Structure 1
Amino acid sequence: MAPRGHSADDVARTALRILDDHGLPDLTMRRLATALEVQPSALYWHFPNKQTLLAELSDRIVSRMASGTAVDLRTEAGALREALLTYRDSAEVVSSTLALGLGSSLAHDRLTAAVAADGFDADTARRSATTVLHYVLGFVWHEQQRLHYDSVGVREESAGAALHDAGEDGVADIGAAGLASDDFAFGLELITAGLQARRRV
């Protein structure tokens, strides 16, 4: 039976809390074991190594984007971004998991379905989904890095400069992460416009 009655769900939920509170570098098996009041070796009852634990966290993070049948590409990409922004350092967790070929393919599958629903062939849908997945992961990783730097006061001067360079209305259009609020939509529009242009070739 599982040590001290802890389930795999208990371990994963506690790991997500540590990730969100302290960040990926501080999500160690020792810290997780301490939070659960068990020996680190007890964690391997549920997860054979840290990467399989991170794969579970990745699946839980990405699963937040699922809601019925996949719709248009912009909506699915936006849903993935929102899911990633739910937890600190989640883009890094999901990216490393995918790079190792672990975890769920849910995000890629939903993006693929959205492109296919727009009339594109299976190969184009798959490759377009990969492109958008990489774009979203990279964008959110950048956002989360800036959020971290802001939280420790590293970017105070650059944030001030951004406000100093505000538009005519005196308001700088930046989000909490220091990125223009429409930058994500602009980049995604470039990708979708390229995809539509490919249809016309």
Structure 2
Amino acid sequence: MQLSRPVIARAAVEILDAYGLADVSMRRVAASLDVAPGALYWHIDSKQALIAAMADEIVSPVLAETHEDPKAFCAALREALLSHTDGADVVSAAAAQPDSPVFPALMSGIRSSFPDSADTAEAAAAGLLYLTLGAANLHQAGTQLKELTDGSGNVKYGSESELGQAIDLLLAGLDAKTH
């Protein structure tokens, strides 16, 4: 197997899914690929770069699709984030890195799902992205807390229906402003 950024990212996401973000390290990823840790640094130079590569891996299916509207984009993004242990944390951490391409790629993806080029669509796209990332983080954290405790009760925040209603409100406001 030839090492590359995508191969390393996939191995790191497998560790993420099995153990969570706290247990993802360059040393552990290298061991899973049966290479010396130093071999990874040729392709990924830091833990921050590894997190960005993992985020790319998590969101790439969303960005590869064409979405009929912003709500569909947000639903696909939420699904991708929640399909991986700590996926929302990884993507949020990567999006917060100043040089990471994750946030601009997500912005471009959600922006392209808007039917028009209204001046306010850029701000609406940013709002929807913040809303989706935040809701997924809350939902994932609540689910994990539920699993760590007695497991009773429902996860209170960040549900799919709650996010859908918030997106509808934001889009209705945008529509009212542009018409």
What TM-score does the superposition give when structure 1 sets the normalisation length? 0.78
* Structure 2 residue 151 is the aligned partner of structure 1 residue 156: yes
- Offset of 1:53 from its aligned partner? 1.5
* C-alpha distance in structure 2 between counterparts of 1:32 and 1:125, whole Å: 40
* Corresponding residue of 1:135: 131
* Structure 2 residue 157 is the aligned partner of structure 1 residue 189: no
* Corresponding residue of 2:60: 63
Residue segments in structure 1 that go unaligned for 5+ positions in a row? 163-176
Query: CA deviation digits over 1:58-115, x for unaligned, max 9?
Result: 1121111135444211111111111111211111111111111302433211211222
* C-alpha distance in structure 2 between counterparts of 1:181 and 1:70, whole Å: 17
CA distance change for structure 1 residues 112 and 8 in 2, over 3 Å: closer, same or farther?
closer
Task: State the one-letter code of the partner of 1:138.
Answer: G
Task: State the one-letter code of the partner of 1:183.
Answer: E
Structure with the greater alpha carbon radius of gyration: 1
* C-alpha distance in structure 2 between counterparts of 1:25 and 1:68, whole Å: 30
* Structure 2 residue 67 is the aligned partner of structure 1 residue 88: no
* C-alpha distance in structure 1 between counterparts of 2:8 and 2:64, whole Å: 25
- Offset of 1:49 from its aligned partner? 0.8
Q: SS in structure 1 opposite 2:83?
A: coil
How many residues get paired? 176
* Corresponding residue of 2:29: 32
Q: SS in structure 2 opposite 1:182?
A: helix
Poorly superposed stretches of 4+, deviation over 4 Å: 177-181
- Which residues in structure 2 correspond to 1:87-126 (within 5 Å)? 87-101=84-98, 102-104=100-102, 105-115=104-114, 117=115, 119-121=116-118, 123-126=119-122
CA RMSD of aligned residues (A): 2.1
- Offset of 1:38 from its aligned partner? 2.8
Greater RCO between the two (CA within 8 Å, min separation 6)?
2
User: Any conservation in 1 of the 2:121–2:174 contact (CA below 8 Å)?
Assistant: no
Identity of matched residues, %? 33
Q: SS in structure 1 opposite 2:120?
A: helix
Query: CA deviation digits over 1:139-161, x for unaligned, max 9?
Result: 00111111211222x2535x1xx
* C-alpha distance in structure 1 between counterparts of 2:59 and 2:48, whole Å: 16
* Corresponding residue of 1:20: 17
* C-alpha distance in structure 2 between counterparts of 1:32 and 1:67, whole Å: 26
* Corresponding residue of 1:166: none
* C-alpha distance in structure 2 between counterparts of 1:109 and 1:29, whole Å: 30
